[in-house]
């Protein structure tokens, strides 16, 4: 009687990794107000797709699948421009389309997914120890504090700032356009100095598309690398407290280690 054929170990290995909430090949998706940037484990060149006011999660899924058809990955990290809870997005982004809250990303991608605020993902990729404040200067203002490996996503862009406008309205892309580069730089430096004293940080890292507009940087301030979000997305799978979303609707957190915490 012929011996039954051995099953390929690939599917079994992937299933085992997924059941444990771990993946070895990660697709990182960094969602921005004008573009979505993509990079997967083993790839050297990021890819980019356009986003914008009418960009929905259904379009994200369709265009990411098309853009990464030749990439292999078994887990997904998503940097989302809004508040994120254990089950995914908890608020709709102001600069994209709707439908993000409650969208089943794990079922859509058919792989385990980890989602974190986009500024927190960039911060995770730039962190070098100590007490760091990250500011993402883009369409709005993203912010995250990391202190001794504890990640605290913030919403400093919602703080009322000047002329009855929020920090994001004044120091985001619209504020830069309205004020001009010189006035925008002056207000941004004032904001950075106030934050430095308020949070008692060792250093501030500036990321996002408008960071390069600043010119001379304040003391203890540096620019983040433009690949920081991808590094953060890969690091995300080494943080035990981050929930993993599965296609069957299950959510798991692994707390074997307390070296890192995400709050």
Does residue 20 sit in the same domain as residue 102? yes
Are 167 and 241 part of one and the same domain?
no
Q: Per the domain annotation, does 106 fall within a domain?
A: yes
Could you read off the pLDDT of 116-127 as tens digits, one per residue?
A: 999 999 999 999
Q: What percent of the chain has pLDDT over 90?
A: 73
Whether 4 maps to a domain, the answer reads: no
Assign 258 a pLDDT band (cuts: 50, 70, 90). Answer: low
As a 3-state breakdown, the chain gives helix, strand, coil percent values, each rounded to 5, of 30, 25, 40
> How far is 25 from 231, CA to CA, in rounded Å?
13
219 and 125, same structural domain?
A: yes
Flag whether 2 is in a domain: no
Residue among 4, 99, 79, 3 at smallest CA distance from 39: 79
When divided into structural domains, the chain yields a total of 2
CA 190, chain centre distance (Å): 26
- Look at residue 54 and tell me whether its pLDDT is greater than 90: yes
Q: Which domain holds residue 91?
A: 9-118+229-262
31 and 111 inside one domain: yes
Residues 55 and 129 in one domain: no
Tell whether 114 and 237 lie within a shared domain. Answer: yes
Count of alpha carbons within 13 Å of 97, Cβ hemisphere only? Answer: 12
Is the residue at 217 inside a domain?
Answer: yes
| Within a domain: 1 | no
- Assess whether pLDDT exceeds 60 at residue 202: yes
Residue 20 lies in a domain: yes
Are residues 21 and 71 part of one domain? yes
CB atoms within 10 A of CB 87: 15
> Do 176 and 151 reside in the same domain of the chain?
yes
- How confident is the model over 157-161, as a mean pLDDT? 90
Question: Is residue 98 domain-shared with residue 153, that is, in the same domain?
Answer: no
Q: Which residue has the higher pLDDT, 250 or 70?
A: 70
* CB-based contact 226:25 (threshold 8 Å): no
- Say if residue 184 is in the same domain as residue 217: yes
Pairing of strands 113-117, 88-89: unpaired
Summarize pLDDT for 57-115 with one digit per residue, the tens: 999 999 999 999 999 999 999 999 999 998 999 999 988 999 999 999 999 999 999 99
Residue 3 belongs to a domain: no
At residue 195, the 3 state secondary structure works out as: helix
CATH number at 190 reads 3.30.420.40
How many Cβ atoms from other residues are within 10 Å of residue 144's Cβ?
Answer: 29
State the Cα–Cα distance between residues 117 and 80, nearest whole angstrom. Answer: 5
Burial (0-12, 13-18, 19+ Cβ within 10 Å), 230 = buried
- Give yes or no for residue 19 having a pLDDT over 50: no
Q: Are 133 and 13 in a shared domain? A: no
Contact of 132 with 203, CB cutoff 8 Å: yes
Q: Does the residue 200 lie in any domain?
A: yes
Residues 208 and 238 in one domain: no
What's residue 94's pLDDT? 82
pLDDT mean across residues, the chain: 87
Tell me what pLDDT residue 6 has.
Answer: 38
């Amino acid at each position: 009687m012929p011996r039954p054929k051995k099953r390929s170990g690939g599917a079994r290995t992937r299933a085992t990794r997924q059941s444990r909430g771990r993946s070895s090949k990660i697709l990182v998706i960094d969602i921005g107000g004008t573009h979505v940037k993509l990079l997967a484990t083993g790839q050297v060149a990021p890819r980019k797709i356009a986003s914008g006011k009418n960009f929905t999660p259904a379009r994200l899924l369709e265009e990411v699948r098309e853009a990464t058809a030749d990439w292999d990955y078994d887990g997904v990290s998503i940097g989302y421009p809004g508040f994120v809870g254990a089950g995914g997005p908890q608020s709709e982004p102001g600069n994209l389309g709707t439908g993000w809250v409650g969208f089943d990303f794990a079922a859509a991608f058919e792989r385990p997914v980890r989602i974190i605020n986009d500024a927190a993902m960039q911060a995770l990729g730039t962190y070098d120890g100590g007490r760091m404040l990250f500011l993402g200067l883009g369409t709005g203002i993203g912010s995250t504090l990391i202190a001794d490996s504890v990640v605290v996503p913030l919403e400093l862009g919602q703080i009322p700032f000047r002329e009855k406008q929020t920090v994001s309205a004044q120091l985001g892309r619209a504020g830069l356009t309205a004020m001009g580069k010189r006035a925008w730089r002056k207000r941004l430096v004032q904001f950075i100095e106030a934050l430095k004293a308020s949070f008692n940080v060792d250093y501030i890292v500036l990321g996002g598309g408008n960071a390069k507009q600043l010119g001379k940087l304040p003391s203890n301030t540096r620019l983040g690398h433009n690949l920081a979000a991808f590094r953060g997305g890969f690091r995300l799978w080494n943080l035990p407290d981050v929930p993993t979303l599965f296609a069957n609707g299950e959510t798991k957190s692994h707390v074997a280690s307390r070296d890192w915490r995400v709050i």
